[in-house]
């Protein structure tokens, strides 16, 4: 089980309010996409959920418990970044197992979890390589593997595919959707790419200037955009 609620969630930097009162429900096992133009607050909102940014107003609830002040490591989440952030001196296996090592998991358990995740991600034959000897798509899979080994209830992705070329992006999109099925996890995925949003999401959250313009399924947004902004952004006529 992993659901998440935001109630009037806000973030200010000094006098500047960048998240201006967000109300949102993310259901167990849902694939939710935050979409919107650059600078609208997607990453900030995701980082507030992850605990990497302090929430300055309103509430975050995870599985019914207020989580505003819960330590990031205790929220049951794992985040995958756009920039991969792999350790260059470590092998794939070491990169994937590092968080477990820090958490004090035994080498045998670490090894088993890393092998299981590598199997799912088709990285089993690459476990001894270093990041510099991997393709972009393989590096991205290692970054995802690092999240999977921690067995999180909720995965958070911040534009994970934006450094990949177009063909690879299409592949990785499908792979992530398969992964979502297979892991039966709740996923929140940030992108500025409408096509990614439309093809991957159960629920799309359209953000603009720190506010939600509309929440709905891809079909709902396409057929019944709430306003000109959503219509323009999603690309349907209105
Ligand atoms: P997105 O991910 O949608 O491109 P961000 O969440 O990164 O947008 O940024 C939202 C807004 O918050 C932007 O106007 C950005 O300049 C501002 N912002 C982000 N981080 C900070 C910070 N540490 N201090 C001040 N302003 C910030
Ligand atoms: Mg961003």
Backbone angles phi, psi at 93, to 5 degrees: -60, -40
Using the mean position of ligand 2's atoms as its centre, give its distance from the Cα of residue 43 in Å. 4
Residue 103: Cβ within 10 Å count: 10
Residue 120 reports pLDDT greater than 70:
yes
Give tens-digit pLDDT for 39-76.
999 999 999 999 999 999 999 999 999 999 999 989 99
Kindly list the distances between the CA atom of residue 213 and the CA atoms of 36, 103, 204, in Å, as whole numbers in the listed order. Answer: 9, 40, 11
Pocket of ligand 1 (CB under 6 A): 13, 16, 18, 36, 38-44
The mean pLDDT of the chain is: 93
Q: What is the DSSP letter of 221?
A: H
Residues with C-beta atoms within 5 A of ion ligand 2? 43
Q: If you measure from the C-alpha of residue 82 to the centroid of ligand 2, how many angstroms do you get, rounded to a whole number? A: 9
- Three-class SS state of 115: helix
Question: What mean pLDDT do residues 118-127 have?
Answer: 93
pLDDT at position 36: 95
- Closest listed residue to residue 30, CA positions, set 221, 229, 215, 226: 215
Compute the distance from residue 158 Cα to the ligand 2 centre, in Å. 7
Smallest CA separation from ligand 1 atom 15, residue: 39
Output the CA torsion sign for 154, 50, 200, 170: negative
Instruction: Dig out the tokens for 65 from the structure.
Output: 């418990």
The pTM (predicted TM-score) of the whole model is 0.93
Query: Is residue 217 very low, low, confident or very high in pLDDT (cuts 50, 70, 90)?
Result: very high
Kindly state the tokens that stand for 180: 């979502």
User: Which is higher by pLDDT, 85 or 216?
Assistant: 216
**Ligand 1: which residue has its CA nearest to atom 7?**
43
């Amino acid at each position: 089980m992993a659901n998440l609620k935001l109630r009037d969630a806000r973030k200010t930097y000094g006098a500047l309010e960048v998240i201006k009162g967000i109300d949102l429900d993310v259901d167990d096992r849902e694939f939710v996409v935050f979409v919107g133009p650059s600078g609208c607050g997607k990453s900030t909102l995701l980082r507030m959920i992850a605990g990497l940014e302090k929430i300055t107003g309103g509430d975050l609830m995870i599985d019914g418990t207020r989580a505003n002040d819960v330590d990031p490591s205790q929220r049951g989440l794992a985040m995958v970044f756009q920039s991969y952030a792999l350790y260059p001196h470590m092998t794939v296996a070491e990169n994937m197992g590092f968080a477990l090592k820090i958490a004090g998991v035994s080498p045998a358990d670490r090894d088993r979890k890393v092998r299981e995740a590598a199997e799912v991600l088709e990285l089993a034959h690459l476990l001894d390589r270093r990041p510099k000897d991997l393709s972009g798509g393989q590096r991205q899979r290692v970054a995802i593997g690092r999240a999977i080994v921690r067995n999180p209830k909720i995965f958070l992705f911040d534009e994970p595919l934006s450094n990949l070329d177009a063909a690879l992006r299409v592949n990785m999109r499908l792979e992530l959707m398969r992964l979502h099925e297979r892991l039966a996890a709740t996923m929140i995925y940030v992108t500025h790419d409408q096509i990614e949003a439309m093809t991957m999401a159960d629920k799309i959250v359209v953000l603009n200037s720190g506010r939600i313009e509309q929440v709905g399924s891809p079909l709902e947004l396409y057929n019944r955009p709430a306003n000109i902004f959503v219509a323009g952004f999603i690309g349907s006529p209105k």
